[in-house]
Amino acid sequence: MSSHEPSTQTFYEQFGGAPVFEKLVHHFYLGVADDPELRALYPEEDLGPAEVRLRMFLEQYWGGPTTYSEQRGHPRLRMRHLPFAVTPDMRDRWLQHMRAALDEVALPAEQDQIFWDYLSRAAYAMVNTFDETGSPDQPAPGLGITPRPS
């Protein structure tokens, strides 16, 4: 391919494929396991199934295998998260562990920024309550997306 032709690689391939996504999600769930408040949002005793689901989702989103949809259907992220009280604190904890995991995989700066921008927007969109007592009965208006402080 000449330098004038656009790359046909997916972001999944550009990010490093399965090994990078496996490492990213594994490190994320190591953080979740050590965070009692965030860990409480995961009803399973073993975080392994959640780790597999998140990895499959991220791989598919970035252009990798479509295993997530084949096994679980359309992602419907907001709907899947409604049973859980996703507060701003939970969002921030999730982002903290995801930031540490992304730092662990050490993507090139441009790829890191693309990935982080998506993760930040997705995390803000999952907030479904501003009631810090944890009741998801009062969903946040709109998507609740606001800029993340630097």
The residue extents of the domains of the chain are 12-126
pLDDT score at 42: 82
pLDDT in tens, 43-80: 777 899 999 999 999 999 999 999 888 877 666 666 56
- Residue 1: pLDDT above 70? no
pTM: 0.78
User: Other CB atoms closer than 10 Å to residue 48's CB: what's the count?
Assistant: 10
- Residue 134: pLDDT above 60? no
d(CA 26, CA 68): 17
Check residues 57 and 41 and name the one with the higher pLDDT.
57
d(CA 115, CA 59): 12
Which fold is adopted by the domain 12-126? Answer: Globin-like (1.10.490)
d(CA 66, CA 79): 20
